[in-house]
Structure formats: C-alpha cells, structure tokens
Amino acid sequence: MQKELHQLCIKTLINDNWQAGMGSSIATGIQAIPDSCQGVLILLCDQWMITQNDLINIYQIWKKNQQKIVANNYFDDKYKKQVSGAPAIFPRSYFDKLSLLKTQGARKIIEQSSQVITINNKSAAFDLDIPSDLDKLRQCAN
C-alpha cells in the first residue's frame, strides 16, 4: 500500500505486532501522534458504507465537545445488540488508555466511559469480515 500512498502527505506506520490484534495497531498509531494533536479519529478500513459526510458529521460534533469521545452507534449482527464504536474520535485524555491496547479494539474504552456522545449511524454496521459480507457489498454495487 505504501506505493499507492507515496504521493499523499501522510506518515506510514508499520505495526510489527499486527497479529496480536486490532488494539496493537491502535496503540502503535497513538504512540506516534505528536503532542500538538488534541484528538484522534479511529476509522476501520473495512467499513465500506461510511461516507465523507459521516466523517464530517462526527468531526463537527467532536469539535464542539472536545473533551468527550464521539462514537457511532449501530446494531451489531455479530453481537446481536446495539454497540458504540468506530468511527470514533477520542480526545487526548484517552491516549494513554488507547496506547495500552493489545488484542481488542477501543470499544471497551467507549463502553466504560461516561464521557461519550453517540451518533446513530446504520452505515457503521457494515464491514467486510467474512465472505458473505463481500456478497452484500457486491449486491449494493449492482
């Protein structure tokens, strides 16, 4: 992917411990964030229904509430319940907790915090984890 990204003004990080789980990738990214950064957006690369407007919306809400986590809320078929998760913006005050993640992602941090604003967004529920998810994507594309 670095070849495709070389023209963009971004810093590429390699998580050598990626097989440990999503949390280790989040921790790797958090540890590389400069001190001047006041928040971080965690967006999963397989959430194919998330739009530019979804990201603008979450940012605008966080900009007015910069001490709180802003997360998407949706029904998760895997867990058969409403969940809050990515995309989510975390303020700097959560960076220490995020940098300690290992196997699991950041959902538990969201669940344990009393400082969360949730946005109902059905689009966040669609991701590509298994072959049948790819079939759903193909059906939407036709």
The pLDDT tens digits for 37-77 are 999 999 998 898 899 999 999 999 999 999 999 999 999 88
Q: What is the pLDDT of residues 90-129, one digit of tens each?
A: 999 999 999 999 999 999 999 999 999 999 999 998 887 7
| Residue-number span of the structural domain to which 100 is assigned | 2-141
Question: Per-residue pLDDT for 25 more than 90?
Answer: yes
> Between β-strands 69-76 and 39-42, what pairing exists: parallel, antiparallel or unpaired?
unpaired
Instruction: Answer whether 133's CB lies under 8 Å from 127's CB.
Output: yes
List the single range of 7-11, 34-38, 47-51 with lowest mean pLDDT: 7-11
Q: Is the pLDDT of residue 130 over 80?
A: no
* pLDDT given at position 26: 97
| Total structural domains within the chain | 1
Q: Cα–Cα distance between 26 and 112 in angstroms, integer? A: 18
- Cβ neighbours around 54 below 10 Å, total: 18
Q: Give pLDDT, residue 86.
A: 96
CATH number, domain containing residue 38: 3.90.550.10
Q: What is the pLDDT of residue 115?
A: 97
5, pLDDT greater than 70: yes
Q: Retrieve residue 125's tokens.
A: 């529920």
